Structures are given as structure tokens and as C-alpha cells.
Structure 1
Amino acid sequence: MRRSLSDQVCIVGVGETDFVRGTDKSLTQLLTEAAVNACKDAGIHPSEIDGVINPWRYNVRCEDLVAGLGIKELKFSGRSEMGGASAIAAIQQAALAVEHGVAEYVVVATGQKGYSGPRLGGTDPRILDYNNTIMPNPEYRDNMEYPYGVMVPMQYFSLHANRWFYEYNPDPIGMQIVAMTCREHAHNNSKAYMKGRAMTEEDYQNSPMLVTPFRLFDCSLEIDGAGAVIVTSKRNAHRFKKPIYIAGIAEGHPNQPDDMPTRSDILDMGIKYAAPRAFEMAGISRDEIDFAEIYDCFTFIVLRQIEEMGFCERGEAPDFVKNGRITYGGQLPINTHGGLLSQAHIVGINHVVEGVHQLRGESGIAQVQDAKIGLVTGYGDMGDGSIAILHN
């Protein structure tokens, strides 16, 4: 019989840095700060950490956190190179490590200097070299895409988005609804970079079209910051006041995961394969989800994940998000903290942090009433997906 991770592992600490545009701190400092904050949240000394995972390709090495945290013995280290799907995939790795007794407390810490470092909105000519450090198969990118002007993520994903619009003719209003909902939710989050910065329908419609169909406000924020999550097994749960259990977790990959145009179905996404496994592990239905923190590097990615997870059929997500369904009090509140679109883009680990806060009842005026089960997703590279179903 296949052994399940369901309810064998819990998240006992979460932490973040401030989210800013402009910092003198190194990425190592940011990750260490987030990890220390997670330890404070859990009520453990950082030296108790004996496992470290740094998701995403260009982060600091696991060893770089040992001195800063005062780790006495590093028993487990790992990486997860799936772009924005990395954080949850790394939590799955951490869950396996603690459930099998390889380590007791594993910290998953990630983030980025998305504003102070090389960035798409900047003028640093090294951005294409940088892009080759975070995307799969740089040889393919160099020889088959860059010569034709396909150079950055919004261009890659526009191929997917335009095919979706061509095949299913979804209502474009769906992207605006996602953008404006995330902005409204950010106003209820003191840590959100866009708190207090209003967005009207006119603001959205008048924002520049960067790559069809993506306007400026369809794109996530360039921010400096980091987040961290501490994972342990249920045998240690008695030490903590509010452990949040992992009911189901999975990662998934599209066919030909290093490229989109050569797939038999350009709309194929890893979340389509991961979500059924996570729901099966958790033993729940989609109707039982109280809120969802859905990876939102671009507005359309939220819509497509809603479809591929089975909440509706392809092309139907814009109708699904209408009429207040994805805001507080709706059937499926999403990105209750503002998301990557309006809180901060720190590679999605802030979605996990928010999910934990919601299930502890700590989200203040952004709190989803009676939240018991939450869903968090990751999306990365050319369509990799990850998903965690959490409960209190």
C-alpha cells in the first residue's frame, strides 16, 4: 500500500522580511532574516534547525545559512529548481525528510532582490544572461527563441495566453478582475507593497500593453524580500500552539517541461497532474476549500490554474471569478494578502505564509471567516506546478 504524507507533517513557523524597492542587504542576509523570523514565530531557537532547503536556481547555498542561524549540525540540505513552483515543491522535500526522520526541523527559505538586482524593468544589459540562470535549457533559449525576440517570461507566457484566447474565447475581463481583486486585498495587509495604492478600472485599462495580452497591471511586482517556512513531523507537533498540517501536497510537470511551442498541447500545465494527486492525498473535494493562495506571476496564470485544478472547464475561469466569488465572503477567496501582483514577488513563499496565517486566524481584517482548509499553488518555468492543501 502506498504510504501517504497526509497529516504526518506540519508547518510550525513562518517568517518574512519587509518588502521594499531598494536594499543594501545581500540575498543571504534576506533569507537569514526571514528564517530567523520564522524561528521566532515557531518559538524555537535557530540552532535547532537541522535541515535547509533554498528553492530556486540562483539563491544562496544552503551552507550559507548555517553560520547565520547558528545551526549545530546540518543533517539535510536540498534545492528545488522549478521557478515559482519551487517553494511548495521544496516543502514536499522537507516533508519527506522530517517524516522519515532524516531531520527534525527543516527551514525552506527563498526570495529575491527583484528590484535591486538585475530586473526586467531596469536597464542592466546583463538581464538576458541573468534570465539564462533561472530558466531551463539555456541552449534552447539562446538558439531557438532569443534570435526571434522571445527573451523574457512575459513573452514566453504570452504564447500560452494567446493560444488560450484563440481556442476558448474567454472573457478578457477575467484578467482585470484578478488584478483588481489582488490590489483590493493588498489594502488589508500592512506588509503589502501596494497597500494604499489604489487601482481603478480606468487605471487598469490605461496601463501600458507590454506584450499582448499583458498590460502592466497583469504582471507581478519587482520587489526585494524573502520568506521562510519551518516544517516538522507530527511527532513534534505537541511543542507548538498552532501547527498547520499538510493534508495533501504534490508537484507536476507538463510534457516537454523545458519548452512550450513544441508540446502537443501548449496549454498543458503541471498543476493539471499535481492537483488530483494532492486532493486524493487530502481526501477532500474542491468544494471544501475555504480559500486559495494561487501563484500569480501574471493574472492569466491564476485563471488557467483555476481551470487546470478542476474548479471549472478551460475557458470558463473568467466567468468563475465574476460576481465577487474570489474576494472575502465569496465562494473561493484568493490571494487574501495581495499576492505577487500587489504584495510582493518573492517566488511564492509568501502565499504559504499567508495560508498559515489564515488557518491560524491571524490575518486581521483580511481573515476568511471559519477558515479550516486552504490551498496554495506554485507555477514556474515553462509550466511546472505545485500544490499544497493545508488545514488547522
Structure 2
Amino acid sequence: MVAIVGIGETAPARQSGKDIRALVLEACTDALADAGLGGSEVDGIVTDSVIMPGTVPADWLAAQLGMTLSFSASLSYGGAAVVAAPMLAEMAIASGRARAVLVYFGVDWGSRPGGPYAFHDAYPAKAAFEKPYGFSAQPAYFALWARRYMHEFGLREEDLADIAVAHRHNAIRTGRAQNRKPLDRDGYFSSRLVADPLRVPDCCLISDGAGAYVVTSRERARDLRRVPVEVRGVGFASAPVPGDDVFTQPSPLLTTPAATRASDQAQRSAKISLGDVDFAEIYDCFTISCLAQIEDLGFCRKGDGAHFMREQGITIDGRLPVNTHGGLLSYSYRLGIEHVVEAVRQLRGDAGDAQVLGAEIGLVGGFSPPDYGVAILTR
């Protein structure tokens, strides 16, 4: 079993004024300092396999930190990668190929021309068959989800509003979030429509920033600076859907089968059920995607997500706090690395006014269709 012993992240910002490499280096340096480790004491590195290799290569980062690597790996991209990365770290540590592993990820989509809207230009079918007809970016993709969900399950716009309002409430409690402007239902319905029925608060922020964390064995963790957070279970799964089809073409549209399989794997590995979870950090690129993942992870049945979230209460003081930092909707949009950092912060008891009382078990879900990653962390 492995543990997370150090975390670091840059301050949430729309535009940081810094190069992406500088942002990642800052987050990694902070994570190492938090763990009380020097770069020479960390011999493994893991990141995603799509975004980081072209912007912040592992060899460049290792050289800046003085790391002599005996293990280097990548998987998936974005949310699924940063959440499932402890799976690779554990393999490396258990096999003796590494003693400590640094996991990192960052984006500069607040500063880079095109930002996240340019990401799917890499897929020829989207450029040829979707963009000419208005499916030009993620809000249009997920507006399709929301309308289909409304048709099938009777979802109301008020249900989406409540998710956005709860996330903003949590973000304000952190004191660090990128968007801390108060939001209520009236504010939600007076906000600009982006892609019917999605409004501005339904959509994730655009951000520059980076995050990182350090993984080592449970035995070694006992001798380090911070109280370790154990990685009790990890799941990773992928659906047979190519990048050309993600978000718009798969059938059934509203189901993420990889999330269900990854959740089952993580629960079996951890020997913990979802009923034991004290809080969840779910990849909330849009309100509707957060709702759908709550269902596909197994917290409730398909179609019951809005009722479940309303009955449970997803603010910090609720029975199942979701995205205790405000999530991608209100904290920052760094594709999920901030979700892992926040879960560790909660389990250490370091979340300040945003602390979930008695938090002992947290679940993190990372969404990168067709892939999905789940991590169950404990004190």
C-alpha cells in the first residue's frame, strides 16, 4: 500500500502571467517541500500521456528538480491520468523500481490561444462533421447531454442551478478559489446562456495552473514530515470509444461505463463501499457531467442523481460533500489535479473553513472520456 506524503499547487487564476513550465515547476517544488524531500530523494515520475509530454516533458522536469529517475511512466490524459496515477506509482514502489514517485500535471489554457476549445481539433471527425454544425466546443457537447437527460429523466434547470450554487458555496468557504462571487438561484437564472440549457455557472472555469503530489510506501511515509494519506484503492477503465466520438456519438450517450468499472475496482481494492465515503471530489467540467458521474460511480441509480444530491446535501456541511473546494466550476480548471490535492488536504484536516468535520474517507473521480480513474483515500 502507498501513501501521498506531499502536495503542491499554484494559486487558482484565469491568467497567471507565467509560463506553463514555471507553473508546473512551482507546484512540484512545493509538493517536495511539503513532503520534506529533496529532488534527489524521488526517483519516479508519472504524468498524463497526452498533454504534458508536449508542454512539460518529464525529463525536463526531472532535470530541474535534480531527480535521478529509475521509473518514468504516463497514462491516459487529464482527470483520469492524475487520479489513477497512484496505480502506476504503487507498481513501481512494490517492484522496487522506485522509492518515491512525483505525479504532476498543469495547463495554461487561460493564456494559450484557443484554450480548451482547441483541444478537440486534434480529432478529424469532429472538425469535419461536428464543428461546421455548431458542435464547436465542450459547452455544446454537454448541452446535448443536459437536454437529452431532461427528456429522459425529467431533469429541471433548477436542479442544475442547485449544483452550481452548492459548488460556489464551497468555493467561497475555501478562501482561495478563482471564483468567489456569491451565487444563488436568482443569480444563476440571470446569468448568460452559453449553450441551451447551460449557463455560465454550469460551465467549468478557464484557468492557468498546475498541481503535484508525492507518493511513497506506507512504511517510508511514517518517517516523513506530514501525516500520510493512504491510497486505499485505485480503479482505471476505458470504454471502446475513439476520440472522434467522445461526448457526442457514444451510445448510450448519458452513461460513462468506464466510471462504473473504475469505481468497482477501487471499492474492491480498498474494501470500502460508497456508503463509507465521507466526501467526494468529482470531475465537474459541467454541472450535468458531475450529476451523471455521481450516478455512474454507483452512488445512486441512473436518473436519480438530482434527487440524490439534493437529499444528501453536497455542500461542506451536507451528508455527502461534493467538491469541497468548489471544483472545476468555481475553484479552478486544471483537469482534476486540484481534486486530488483537495482530497489530501481534507484528510489531513488542513482545509480550514472548508473542512469536512470527521473526514476519514474520500473518493476522487477523474473523467477523461473514454477513460476514467477513481481513487479512494483515507486518513
| Pairwise TM-score range, normalised by the shorter structure | over 0.9
SS in 1 for 2:222: helix
Aligned: 1:265 with 2:252: yes
**Partners in 2 of 1:66 and 1:263 — Cα distance?**
39
SS in 2 for 1:297: coil
Counterpart contact for 2:44–2:99, Cα < 8 Å: yes
Aligned: 1:384 with 2:368: no
Q: Which residue in 1 is equivalent to 2:329? A: 341
Task: Give the deviation of 1:70 after TM superposition.
Answer: 1.5
**Partners in 1 of 2:115 and 2:144 — Cα distance?**
18
Counterpart contact for 1:177–1:321, Cα < 8 Å: no
User: Structure 1 residues 277, 243: CA separation in 2 closer, same or farther (over 3 Å shift)?
Assistant: same
Q: Which residue in 1 is equivalent to 2:58? A: 62
Counterpart contact for 1:290–1:371, Cα < 8 Å: yes
Tell me the number of residue pairs that the alignment of Structure 1 and Structure 2 aligns. Answer: 372
Q: Which residue in 2 is equivalent to 1:48? A: 41
Counterpart contact for 1:16–1:227, Cα < 8 Å: yes
Q: Which residue in 2 is equivalent to 1:207? A: 191
**Partners in 2 of 1:243 and 1:255 — Cα distance?**
36
Deviations 1:63-102 (A, max 9, x none): 110222111x111222223333221122322222222221
Q: Which residue in 1 is equivalent to 2:293? A: 305
User: Structure 1 residues 200, 268: CA separation in 2 closer, same or farther (over 3 Å shift)?
Assistant: closer
User: Structure 1 residues 120, 31: CA separation in 2 closer, same or farther (over 3 Å shift)?
Assistant: closer
Deviations 1:183-208 (A, max 9, x none): 1111121321123x111222211111
Aligned equivalent of 1:102, options 92, 97, 103:
97
> Which is further off, 256-265 or 310-319?
256-265
Name the aligned partner's letter for residue 68 of structure 1. Q
Deviations 1:204-232 (A, max 9, x none): 11111111221111011111111001111
Q: Which residue in 1 is equivalent to 2:153? A: 168
Task: Give the deviation of 1:105 after TM superposition.
Answer: 1.2
Counterpart contact for 1:170–1:316, Cα < 8 Å: no
Task: Give the deviation of 1:56 after TM superposition.
Answer: 5.4
**Partners in 2 of 1:24 and 1:139 — Cα distance?**
32
SS in 2 for 1:389: strand
SS in 2 for 1:34: helix
Q: Which residue in 1 is equivalent to 2:268? A: 280
> Which is further off, 76-85 or 294-303?
76-85
Q: Which residue in 2 is equivalent to 1:232? A: 216
SS in 2 for 1:321: helix
Aligned: 1:39 with 2:32: yes
| TM-score scaled by length of structure 2 | 0.93
**Partners in 2 of 1:107 and 1:313 — Cα distance?**
36
Q: Which residue in 1 is equivalent to 2:303? A: 315
**Partners in 2 of 1:257 and 1:279 — Cα distance?**
27
Counterpart contact for 1:32–1:65, Cα < 8 Å: yes
Q: Which residue in 2 is equivalent to 1:216? A: 200
Task: Give the deviation of 1:343 after TM superposition.
Answer: 0.9
Q: Which residue in 2 is equivalent to 1:13? A: 6
Counterpart contact for 1:158–1:211, Cα < 8 Å: yes
Task: Give the deviation of 1:324 after TM superposition.
Answer: 6.1
> Which is further off, 284-293 or 110-119?
110-119
Deviations 1:237-266 (A, max 9, x none): 222241111111111223425325543312
Name the aligned partner's letter for residue 102 of structure 1. R
SS in 1 for 2:75: coil
| TM-score scaled by length of structure 1 | 0.90
Over 6 Å off, 4+ runs: none
Q: Which residue in 2 is equivalent to 1:124? A: none
> Percent identity over the alignment?
38
**Partners in 2 of 1:204 and 1:158 — Cα distance?**
16
Contiguous gaps of at least 5 residues in structure 2: none
Q: Which residue in 1 is equivalent to 2:319? A: 331
Counterpart contact for 1:54–1:61, Cα < 8 Å: no
Q: Which residue in 2 is equivalent to 1:85? A: 80
**Partners in 1 of 2:200 and 2:183 — Cα distance?**
12
User: Structure 1 residues 267, 220: CA separation in 2 closer, same or farther (over 3 Å shift)?
Assistant: same
User: Structure 1 residues 18, 256: CA separation in 2 closer, same or farther (over 3 Å shift)?
Assistant: same
Deviations 1:330-361 (A, max 9, x none): 21011111111111111111111111111111
**Partners in 1 of 2:148 and 2:293 — Cα distance?**
15
Deviations 1:130-161 (A, max 9, x none): 4335xxxx122233322333221222233333
Instruction: State the Cα RMSD in Å.
Output: 1.9
Counterpart contact for 1:174–1:303, Cα < 8 Å: no
User: Structure 1 residues 162, 96: CA separation in 2 closer, same or farther (over 3 Å shift)?
Assistant: farther
**Partners in 2 of 1:87 and 1:27 — Cα distance?**
17
User: Structure 1 residues 239, 341: CA separation in 2 closer, same or farther (over 3 Å shift)?
Assistant: same
Task: Give the deviation of 1:182 after TM superposition.
Answer: 1.0
**Partners in 1 of 2:283 and 2:217 — Cα distance?**
26
Counterpart contact for 2:51–2:77, Cα < 8 Å: no
Counterpart contact for 2:162–2:185, Cα < 8 Å: no
SS in 1 for 2:324: coil
**Partners in 1 of 2:45 and 2:105 — Cα distance?**
11
Contiguous gaps of at least 5 residues in structure 1: 1-7, 122-126
User: Structure 1 residues 198, 264: CA separation in 2 closer, same or farther (over 3 Å shift)?
Assistant: closer
**Partners in 2 of 1:224 and 1:340 — Cα distance?**
12
> Which is further off, 255-264 or 83-92?
255-264
